[in-house]
Chain A
Amino acid sequence: MFNSTGNNFGAGVIQFKDVQESNYLVLNARLTVDSSAAAYLAAEELEIYVPDLTIGRSTVCGVVCQYKDRGVSYGSAYVYDAGTVLKSWVKDKNTIVIEKLPEFDNRGELTIWIQAMYCQLNQGWNTVRGTKTRLTFTDPNRYTFWTSDSICVIFQKWVFLHAQIDSVSWDAGDADFEVTVQGLPTDIDAEVPMMMSVSYGNDNLGGVNASKIEAGVWSIKGEDRSMGFRNTSNKPFMFAYLVRDI
């Protein structure tokens, strides 16, 4: 765990969970950004300043960015939260960079989830192959059905997670979802963004909602769930490198 020492877009201190090896990092952080702040608008790239990292540069990876779009239309509340993946990399030992896209300018408060691996190339040896663990989701209310591409690959200090919903029952309405996940280590405690094909408020971006994984249970509040959850012809999914609490 470490804290940022500064940034160029006007945010406060950012707390990171980390796994730092000599040739790669797994970093987890959640930060909020005021996309109408002068510092944000002036920045060409978002730079987060941090204490010495174990690596001095990295390849590009993906982090998830979301803005909230919620309101009431014809007496009904709507959630059109939208977002996509931004590129991120380690620029030097003390700087993590996040790409800035004009699509997010003046969108109010942005949430960025860093749940990524920052790796390096030409490290002397090739990729070390892992073994996948298939995830089993038990939803007592049978609101959600998950695809067989829902897997994790477990390492001693971190886990790679990919999970996607095949369909959501119409019975679900605005109910909260709480689903037991078998196969995922129970020492994962993280807010993980769920990405969807549509937000219904922005044609260029997908829908993005925060969900929670804690003690082997995945959950999301009904009031925080986008309409995009129902568009299951394109699967809602999670993609994250998560630091284990060990």
Chain B
Amino acid sequence: MIALPSIAFGGFSGSAKDVTARQVGGRSILTVRAWPTGPTTNAQVVRRASLTKISKSWQRLSSDQRRDWDRLAETNSGQSVLGQRAVISGLNLYVRLNANRVMAGEALLSDAPSSNVAVPNVFYSQVVMTPELVVFNGIKHESAPLKLVVKMSGSQSAGISNGWSKTVIISSEVEDDWGEADMTKLYLKTIGVEPTPGQKVFIEAYWLDTSTGFTGQVYKDSVLCTGESSYVPRMKVTMDNVVPEESHVSSFDVDYSTNAPVLYFDAICLGHSNVASSEVVLDKALPAAQIGSSLVLGRGMGDTGKIKPQSYLVYMNNVSGATKMTFAQRGGEYTKPTEVFGPGVLYTN
């Protein structure tokens, strides 16, 4: 005989077929067993294995540590159900926070965080969604240990108004690059196909405090994929743009997006031959308005331990559809390699 649980009578608990009744904090809670709607993904398998491992590690905590987790749990509530504040156990809080930390690549936290520090809400100004570009822009930056967790769905019909249950984690450790986060490769890797023009992609985003595992409020958004976008990624050149066989740098990042009279350099010049300079040939030609000369500081970083100050004249020219930048050493003692860094005024002769 099946004893059907009923919320009409507090105190019932147990399972019957797909329904489970339980008492939590004086409340009767009925849950219906959820059945997966699709095949289990690798990420789900990893996540479930991780949760099992975290749960088991609870047993290895000392009684003092468990007591601290219980105390912290008393000051934190679970998701509110039917307007009542849900109670969460120390074990549940331990698993929840550590699952977040593991997701962000952090080790398990044995000691409970001293308190729940407020985690800020996510703010961004734009999501560019085309088959070629998935870019968040205007992200209000938050410093470490906060990392941005972004969940997105595959393309859904434009008529769907609530598709956030379809989202999966695209990245749990987004660090915006001056307010910009290019998620194109990560989206394609996770979802498997690029967004479809005319269809909708659902987004969930929140900040994760990797030091404690606490998260901020989930920001829900949806974006219609367009065929193309007027969005122009900011102008910068990196190692991805360097023609290696014609260049003498081991790292290279020159950014023009300052809206100031300077461009920003961050490069390691290796030098070549017996000439006190390093050349960099790019795989494209920069706009004529950005061609000129600049002077930038350098500091030696050779094996000898020499960290001597230097100055470098950087001159650029466009030849045969490509820009060549020459980092010509000027002041101080030439050292190989040298890191060249900081703003340099861009000027014409």
Contact = CB atoms under 8 A, between A and B. Distances in A.
A112 to B, nearest CB: 13
Contact of A239 (B137, B304, B306, B311): B311
A125 B79 CA distance: 44
Nearest to A88: B342
A208 B309 CA distance: 9
A237 interface: yes
Contacts of B234: 121-122
A50 to B, nearest CB: 18
A127 B177 contact: no
Contacts of B179: 122
| B306, B334, B347 interface centre (most CB from chain A within 10 Å) | B347
Contacts of A23: 258-260
Nearest to B179: A122
A23 B258 CA distance: 8
A127 B308 contact: no
B235 A122 contact: no
Interface stretch (A29-37, A40-48, A137-145, A198-206): A198-206
B264 interface: yes
A126 B341 contact: no
A73 interface: no
Given A122-B180, A162-B295, A117 B343 contact: yes
B284 to A, nearest CB: 15
Contact of A85 (B297, B313, B343, B347): B297
A49 to B, nearest CB: 16
B250 to A, nearest CB: 18
Given A61-B342, A83-B309, A129 B258 contact: no
A13 B259 CA distance: 32
B261 A123 contact: no
Given A122-B180, A234-B333, A128 B259 contact: yes
The binding surface of chain B is classed by DSSP as strand
Interface string A96-130: 00000101000000000000110111111111111
Interface residues of B, number: 50
Contact of A123 (B260, B266, B304, B305): B260
Interface string A181-216: 000000000000001111000011110100000000
B307 A205 contact: yes
B308 A160 contact: no
B331 A236 contact: yes
Nearest to A198: B333
A235 B348 contact: no
B65 interface: no
A132 B348 contact: yes
Contact of A204 (B177, B259, B264, B305): B305
Interface residues of A, number: 55
A52 to B, nearest CB: 17
B295 A239 contact: yes
B177 A122 contact: yes
Contacts of B342: 59-62, 87, 116-117
A160 B345 CA distance: 7
Given A121-B234, A128-B260, A234 B332 contact: yes
A146 to B, nearest CB: 12
A111 to B, nearest CB: 14
A56 B275 CA distance: 40
Nearest to A83: B309
Given A126-B235, A129-B289, A130-B347, A234 B334 contact: yes
Contact of A119 (B262, B292, B293, B333): B262
Contact of A101 (B235, B259, B307): B307
A84 B301 CA distance: 12
Interface in B218-269: 234-236, 255-264, 266
Contact of B263 (A24, A127, A151): A127
Interface in B170-196: 177-180
A122 B309 CA distance: 29
Given A59-B264, A204-B306, A237 B257 contact: no
- Please list the 9 inter-chain residue pairs (A to B) with the smallest Cβ-Cβ separation, ordered nearest first: A237-B331, A197-B333, A123-B259, A122-B178, A125-B259, A121-B178, A62-B297, A206-B308, A61-B342
20 contacts: A59-B264, A60-B341, A64-B309, A103-B307, A117-B262, A121-B258, A122-B177, A122-B178, A122-B180, A122-B257, A126-B235, A126-B256, A127-B260, A127-B263, A127-B346, A129-B289, A129-B348, A149-B330, A204-B308, A234-B332
Given A126-B258, A160-B345, 6 more contacts: A61-B341, A119-B264, A121-B258, A130-B261, A206-B309, A206-B333
